[in-house]
Amino acid sequence: MINLYNSCSLKAIKSKPDKCYDLAIVDPPYGIKEDGAKNHSRGLKAKPTKYTPKNWDKKTMSREYFKELKRVSRNQIIFGANHFIENIPNANSASWVVWDKNNYSTHFADAELAYTSFKKAVRLFKFTWNGMLQGNMKNKEDRIHPTQKPVALYIWLLEKYAQKGDKILDTHLGSGSIALACHDLGFSLDGYEIDKEYFEAAKNRLEIHQQQLKLF
């Protein structure tokens, strides 16, 4: 069951019981102002998408948010944690995820890091995400969010770190890529997005994806 909510995730999870989710995979604001306002001036391979100017990436989430996230989930994968590791309680971990984006010809980061609560080795996922170039050119994804991540990344994470029957939490749904991955792999998901525009776009994206799968 995929449940998407246009609401504040912190308020929502504060009302949830302990460990009600098996795995939280989240991509909260990094506090580096990558909310789309300057995206149009930085691409080198092709004309970048112009997003609606926002200001959600001015600061990182509070320690309270990460405390609640850890309370309601048994395990966590947190993208961008290298930007706010001091806000994550008990964040000592040798098990990080590295996403190599093959992004070496732009001003954007070459890779992204994700903290995990698992006791595993560091894992590397290589998938091109460089303007018009994507790891799966036969099934290119439309960019609807400035910090959108590919569906393939979430499929890889779920296959590596989730178990059949797990209930997944995403507090910052963004483009909804995780929703498509959970639907394809049969995972239950609660996804929260506070921005109305992004929420509607992600919801519509999921609905189109579900319809296409039914057709084929």
Residue 138 CB neighbour total at 10 angstroms: 5
pLDDT at 72: 98
CB atoms within 10 A of CB 79: 22
Q: Do residues 3 and 156 lie in contact, with contact meaning Cβ atoms separated by under 8 Å?
A: no
Over pLDDT 90: what percentage of the chain? Answer: 68
Residue range 101-153, pLDDT digits in tens:
998 766 778 899 999 999 999 999 999 988 888 889 988 888 888 889 999 99
CA distance 149 to 129: 8
State both tokens at 54. Answer: 């926002």
32 touches 83 (CB < 8 A):
yes
Q: Predicted confidence band at 41 (pLDDT cuts at 50, 70, 90)?
A: very low
Confidence (pLDDT) at 108: 77
Minimum mean pLDDT range among 23-32, 33-42, 106-115, 154-163: 33-42
pLDDT of residue 187: 98
Query: What own/partner pairs with CB < 8 Å and gap ≥ 24 does 195-200 have?
Result: 195/54, 195/56, 196/6, 197/52, 198/144, 198/145, 198/173, 198/174, 199/4, 199/6, 199/173, 200/6
Alpha helices in 32-145 (DSSP H): 63-72
Measured CA to CA in angstroms, residue 214 lies from 70, 204, 207 at distances of 36, 16, 11
For the domain with range 2-215, which CATH number is right: 3.40.190.10, 3.90.650.10, 3.40.50.150, 3.40.50.2000? 3.40.50.150
Q: Which amino acid is at 80?
A: G
**How is the chain split into domains, by residue range?**
2-215
- Per-residue model confidence as pLDDT tens digits over 173-207: 999 999 999 999 999 999 999 999 999 999 999 99
Query: Helix 177-185 crosses helix 196-215 at what angle (to 10 degrees)?
Result: 30
Please state, in angstroms and rounded to a whole number, the distance separating the CA atoms of residues 93 and 74. Answer: 15
Q: Tens digit of pLDDT for each residue in 142-182?
A: 888 888 999 999 999 999 999 999 999 999 999 999 999 99
The pair phi, psi for residue 198, each rounded to 5°, is -65, -40
Mean confidence (pLDDT) of the chain: 89
